[in-house]
Chains A and B, each alone.
Chain A
Amino acid sequence: MLFEFKDIKYTLGNESERNIVVSGVVDSGEVLIVRGPSGAGKSTLFRILSRLQPGSGGEAFLQGKSWLQIPSTSWRINVHYMAQKPALFDGTVADNLAKPFETRAGGQKKLDQDRAKELMEQLHLSLELWNQDARTVSGGEASRLAFIRALLVDPMVLLLDEPTAALDEPARQALYRVLSGWLKAANRAALLISHNNDYRQLEHIKYVDIIKHPERGD
């Protein structure tokens, strides 16, 4: 099993009745769609799974190894969270795509420029953006650039939080096409939050629903 999370527990807000407990499994090539109403805590689940914030219980496993045994820096590369709002840094688009390789953990690799440009073309982004100030790109361009950057990080599990929210229909389809291609390599899986049900072209889809935990919490 590539990635598994068991009884991940967390509370939304301060109300104890909003305790959530959720489990799920994805194997190589699979996509796990995380469903639930708005405000149900889907993004929070992703943040917990990528260890950006702690939950109040539960455990996740990457290739059978518990997250307790993996340092958070390498965990976050391999269980990589792409936020709904793309984070852009000062500098050009190229600088932004190279950002993951500035860290010590990510610095063993360098930005593969050819691959980055190839992905830009597949996602209908003009190569003229390459040297453009990243703060001047549009919302749709920004979210596609963040998606490209996430692929360049080369994680095992990609946590995509509404990656198509800012995209028009052709760009959405292009993004899922690229994602499908990416998933074909060994040891890759994705978790996806999407309100649009626009992911029909993805294969090997599974679902997990976020529901409130029935018992009142601690």
Chain B
Amino acid sequence: MESSVIPITNLQLAFTFILILITGGISSFLKLGLLKSLVWGTVRTFVQLTLIGYALTYIFQINNLWLIILIITIMCYIASRAAVKRTPNVSGHPTVPAFLSLVASTYLVGTIVTTLIISPDPWYSARIAIPIFGMILGNSMNGIALSLDRLYLEARARAFEIEAMLTFGATPWEAIQTSVQEAIRAGMTPTINSLMVVGLVSLPGMMTGQILGGADPREAVRYQIVVMLMIAAAVAIGCLILVGLSYKKLFNDDGGLQSFVLSSRK
């Protein structure tokens, strides 16, 4: 039977215990100190995914537009918190700009994909929208975190150039141009790189999932193309918005660089 999912029974799922034993064995053999995290991580994986499985079943059944919007917005918020944690060089907690940039990029790209490209009936089908928006979020979260972190790093490294530009009458935006370009480039590079090697080095998770689910690989590939390109667009938009919202924090009200940008200067 080629066109159906082979179900995993509870007993079969229990066999994953072997995999945990292997991972745990390596950790204790090498004294990696990861055992506690591994156990806790395993428990969380089971609990979180089981719950989300039930939740999704319920959400797909009622398929209410407002509920979908609420869920996606909460996902954006969680993603923005996670993104901010990955920015060790950023001072302050830019959760609000991260959230705004994810909301804007995810909704814009996600709506284009669900309404124009996949166009299910009704157009807001939760079964389509939630996985699609989730994939966009998961990827743009990394992109925006990289780009925000790079913005701060570049600004510190180039503080001298930025100040010179200010003395030429540059506005903060003009003065920090090079850092902004580097930041957005840093955010987009992993996505662009993955466009180069996809299918050669790795089969992406979504495509693999569809194939395991019994889909025709040629169909799965078409979906994957859409997914790759929507991620690239969302990352670009998200980085641009976040950097646009964040660069002003590097400057004071008078348009000079903040002292924390200068403090690391030699």
A residues neighboring B (CB under 8 Å): 50-54, 72-74, 76-77, 80-83, 85, 87, 89, 99-100, 102-106, 153
Contact A80 B167 (CB under 8 A): yes
Give, as a whole number of angstroms, the nearest-CB distance from A135 to chain B.
Answer: 12
Contact B174 A104 (CB under 8 A): yes
Contact B252 A73 (CB under 8 A): no
Chain B, residue nearest A52 (CB):
B256
| Neighbouring A residues of B161 by C-beta, 8 Å | 87, 89
Chain A, residue nearest B159 (CB):
A87
Give, as a whole number of angstroms, the nearest-CB distance from A14 to chain B.
Answer: 12
| Neighbouring A residues of B262 by C-beta, 8 Å | 53
Chain B, residue nearest A86 (CB):
B164
Give, as a whole number of angstroms, the nearest-CB distance from A159 to chain B.
Answer: 9
Contact B166 A76 (CB under 8 A): yes
| Neighbouring B residues of A52 by C-beta, 8 Å | 163, 166-167, 256-257
Q: CB-defined interface of B20-45 with A at 8 Å, one 1/0 digit per residue?
A: 00000000000000000000000000
| CB contact between B164 and one of A54, A72, A87 (< 8 Å): that residue | A87
Give, as a whole number of angstroms, the nearest-CB distance from A48 to chain B.
Answer: 10
Contact B160 A87 (CB under 8 A): yes
Size category, B interface: 10 to 19
> In whole angstroms, how far apart are the Cα atoms of A179 and B45 in the complex?
71
Chain A, residue nearest B173 (CB):
A104
| CB contact between A53 and one of B165, B168, B170, B259 (< 8 Å): that residue | B259
* B residues 142-172 in Cβ contact with A at 8 Å: 160-161, 163-171
> In whole angstroms, how far apart are the Cα atoms of A73 and B259 in the complex?
19
Other A-B contacts than A54-B254, A76-B169, A105-B171, 6 sampled, CB-CB below 8 A, are A52-B166, A53-B256, A72-B254, A99-B164, A99-B168, A100-B168
| Neighbouring A residues of B131 by C-beta, 8 Å | none
Chain A, residue nearest B160 (CB):
A87
Give, as a whole number of angstroms, the nearest-CB distance from A60 to chain B.
Answer: 12
Q: Does chain A have a CB within 8 A of B255?
A: yes
| Neighbouring B residues of A89 by C-beta, 8 Å | 161, 164
22 contacts between A and B (CB under 8 A): A51-B254, A52-B163, A53-B252, A72-B254, A74-B169, A76-B169, A77-B167, A77-B168, A83-B160, A85-B160, A87-B160, A89-B161, A89-B164, A99-B165, A100-B168, A102-B174, A104-B169, A105-B169, A105-B171, A106-B170, A153-B168, A153-B169
Contact B255 A72 (CB under 8 A): yes
| Neighbouring B residues of A77 by C-beta, 8 Å | 167-169
> In whole angstroms, how far apart are the Cα atoms of A81 and B169 in the complex?
11
> In whole angstroms, how far apart are the Cα atoms of A103 and B256 in the complex?
16
Chain A, residue nearest B169 (CB):
A105
Chain B, residue nearest A150 (CB):
B167
Give, as a whole number of angstroms, the nearest-CB distance from B165 to chain A.
Answer: 7
* Residue in A74, A103, A153 with the greatest tally of chain B CB atoms within 10 Å: A103
> In whole angstroms, how far apart are the Cα atoms of A126 and B29 in the complex?
67
Give, as a whole number of angstroms, the nearest-CB distance from B107 to chain A.
Answer: 33
Contact A106 B168 (CB under 8 A): yes
Give, as a whole number of angstroms, the nearest-CB distance from B8 to chain A.
Answer: 56
Contact A73 B169 (CB under 8 A): yes
> In whole angstroms, how far apart are the Cα atoms of A72 and B171 in the complex?
9
| CB contact between A54 and one of B160, B171, B174, B252 (< 8 Å): that residue | B252
Contact B257 A106 (CB under 8 A): no
| CB contact between B168 and one of A54, A83, A103 (< 8 Å): that residue | A103
Contact A104 B171 (CB under 8 A): yes
> In whole angstroms, how far apart are the Cα atoms of A76 and B169 in the complex?
6
Given known pairs A52-B163, A83-B160, A87-B160, the reply for A103 and B254 (CB within 8 Å) is no
| Neighbouring A residues of B259 by C-beta, 8 Å | 53
* B residues 168-218 in Cβ contact with A at 8 Å: 168-171, 174
| Neighbouring A residues of B256 by C-beta, 8 Å | 51-54, 72
> In whole angstroms, how far apart are the Cα atoms of A89 and B165 in the complex?
10
Chain A, residue nearest B251 (CB):
A72
Given known pairs A51-B254, A52-B257, A85-B160, the reply for A76 and B171 (CB within 8 Å) is no
